[in-house]
Each structure stands twice: as C-alpha cells, then as structure tokens.
Amino acid sequence: MANERLLERLPALIQDYLAEVEQQAAKRGPTDGLLGFGDALRNDACHDRFADGLQALIEQMTTAPISHTQAAFALRCLCEAPLQCPDNTPQTACARWMLEAAQSLALPLVPLLQPADAAQLFQWYRSVYPRSRQLPAEKKLAKALHQQAGK
C-alpha cells in the first residue's frame, strides 16, 4: 500500500513541476533572459526543486523496495513525461529538456526490473527516443535497460 502511494507521487510530482514552469514563465517578460539581461526561465530554481524531489522519490522507491512491475511503471511514466511537452513554446521546451535529463535519476530503478520487463521497456524506449537524438542521460538509461534485459 505504501509502495502504491510512492507510485502515485511520481505523476503528481511531474504535473506540479510542469505547472510551476508555466507559473514562472507567466511572471517573466518576453525579453527576460535575452542577451543575459533579466532572469531566464532555464535558470529558475523550480528545475532544481523538481530534480531534488525526483531523486528523493526514487531513493524511497528503491529502499521500499517497489516490485518489478511498479519499477517498470515508474520508468515508463518518467520516460513518457517529456513526450507530453511540445517544443513549440519556451516554457514547454525548457521543461522537456529537464524531464529528458532527469531520466538519468531513474537509473537505480533499472536493477529492480525483470529481464523481460527491461527488454520490453528498452524496445519501447528505442522507438520513441531514437539513438541518433538521445541526450547523454537517455543513452545511459538505454544502456542500463539493455544490460538488464540481457541478464
């Protein structure tokens, strides 16, 4: 039961982060951050708060520990989050980059997966995050999933 509450907190954490990015973007003027003047959205503390909250949540998930199906759900949820952020506005592009980079924080969940779960997740991951456009964090996660699938 406590493990299920941990899983419920992940989508809520992501949604709270996206809402905060929107709030912070609304407070800024159209030229904030240009040429180094003003405060750019990419430098806002909301990104650090999200990363810290995500890291703490993943630590709780690994020490609980959650089941292999719950680990697969959490990884899929975190990996699907950037796909919901189109790159057509500065705030959504900024949030998408952060959500993609934050995937490396989920690496401790990979050893909790069964090889079959890891293989399935790896195949899906490679289809939505082609190797040619993966960020370093995404490459690390893809490699970890591939290795876990081979066990």
pLDDT tens digits, residue range 15-65? 999 999 888 877 756 555 454 555 656 667 888 999 999 999 999 999 988
Task: Determine the distance from the C-alpha atom of residue 91 to the mean position of all C-alpha atoms in its chain, rounded to a whole number.
Answer: 16
Residues with Cβ within 8 Å of residue 131, at least 6 apart in sequence:
139, 142
> What is the predicted pLDDT for the residue at 45?
84
Distance CA 130, CA 37 (A): 36
pLDDT in tens, 80-120: 999 988 766 766 788 898 999 999 999 999 999 999 999 99
Return the pLDDT at 32: 53
How many residues comprise the chain? 151
Given a cut of 90, is residue 77 above it in pLDDT? yes
pLDDT of res. 22: 86
Q: Quick one: tokens of 145?
A: 């999933």
Helices (H) and strands (E) in the chain, counts: 6, 0
Structure tokens at 118: 């890891």
